[in-house]
Amino acid sequence: MANLKVIGTGSYLPEKIIDNSYFEDKLLKRYDVNGEVVGKKRITSDGIYGVTGIRERREAMENEWPSDLGYKAVVRALDDASVSADSLVGIIVSTISEKSNFPSAACKIQERLGIKECVSYDIAAACAGFPLALGLANSSFNSNKGNYAVVGSECLRRISDKTDINDTLFGDGAGAVILTPTEESIGFLGGYIRTSPLNGMLNWIFRDKNDYLKMPEGERVMKAAIRGMLDTAHTIEERLGLGEVGCDVYIPHQANGRILDRVASKVEKKGGKVYRNIENFGNMSSATIPVALDFALKEGFIEEGNKVMLTAVGAGLVASAAAIQF
């Protein structure tokens, strides 16, 4: 059965680096779901790293938006794949932070690439968007054959409240993959997504009345993220007959160092290894997985023949996963 395989990856990180010292002199606040302040705290660089696993993150320039970052990531991915932009028949962008979503970030990228006709659209599943976008591309190519660009791109620092203690988590960046049809038994193996908005979960991660990103239920989000990423990955592995052995490599959404530690403690028991780069880039929502995938491939962390599990949890709450073999 034909499916899509990855033939190129690329990423773009803005030049401006925000290290933890940026936050040291600030009195950062904790907010509840109603936007009321429930606590204040000054935090050190080491304290931020100890809680989040992050030392620095990137910040886009004032005139840069996800479509700009995403375009640069796609250009690099096309170069890595040694294919032209004209070969693309589909561009799918996962983003929640584009300045204007009509026209979509995908359409803006298509225009800058100079592609006359293409199926281009955005999805908004927050941190869980990239595995979902891969599945959508794989579902589309039978009716629209050719190469696809799948992109995760975010400017979270643009929508992060600088008085909120959670501002220490967020960074900007973009990653992209180029996919092409194959008859080989590699490439996209399967995907899974589930959404659980009940029991107040819609208020765990959201945009407030000032359009700022808020996460008042951090501890609950952390527990749900660990459970969601492991459960969705396991669901796919069971379907693929990998329930006992698992995948070779896991690339979880780089949300928080403690989350990655817990996920790693589970999958490493089955012989899998977890890639992480949260220390240098922070939480970039839907951009974290494609950026991490690009770095993992270029660093040789992923080897030929490896089965790789991409898994994420985001606002909603939405949990998603996708398995790919290289």
Give the domain range for residue 266. Answer: 187-325
CB contact set of 90 (below 8 Å; sequence gap of 6+): 118, 119, 120, 137, 140, 141, 144, 146, 147, 148, 149
Question: Given this model, what pLDDT does residue 314 score?
Answer: 92
Is residue 196 included in any domain, yes or no?
Answer: yes
Residue 313 pairs with which residues in a beta bridge? 319
Question: Given this model, what pLDDT does residue 218 score?
Answer: 86
Q: Of 149, 167, 182, which one is at a domain's C-terminal end?
A: 182
Are 272 and 215 in the same domain? yes
Residues of the chain by 3-state class (helix, strand, coil), percent to 5? 35, 30, 35
Is residue 228 included in any domain, yes or no?
Answer: yes
What DSSP element (H or E) covers 122?
A: strand 119-123
pLDDT-flagged residues of the chain (< 70): 1
Is residue 209 included in any domain, yes or no?
Answer: yes
Is residue 21 included in any domain, yes or no?
Answer: no
Q: Of 136, 158, 182, which one is at a domain's C-terminal end?
A: 182
CA distance 292 to 289: 5
Is residue 24 included in any domain, yes or no?
Answer: no
Q: Please give the tally of structural domains in the chain.
A: 2
For the stretch 2-59, pLDDT in tens is: 789 999 999 999 999 999 999 998 999 999 988 889 999 999 999 999 999 999 999 9
**One-letter amino acid for residue 287 of the chain:** A
Question: Given this model, what pLDDT does residue 55 score?
Answer: 97
**One-letter amino acid for residue 168 of the chain:** T
Are 87 and 147 in the same domain? yes
Active site amino acids: 127, 253, 283
Question: Given this model, what pLDDT does residue 185 score?
Answer: 85
Is residue 50 included in any domain, yes or no?
Answer: no
CA distance 117 to 321: 30
DSSP secondary structure code for residue 77 in this structure: H
Question: Given this model, what pLDDT does residue 1 score?
Answer: 54
CA distance 314 to 283: 11
Question: Given this model, what pLDDT does residue 144 score?
Answer: 78
For the stretch 118-132, pLDDT in tens is: 999 999 999 999 999
What is the reported pTM? 0.95
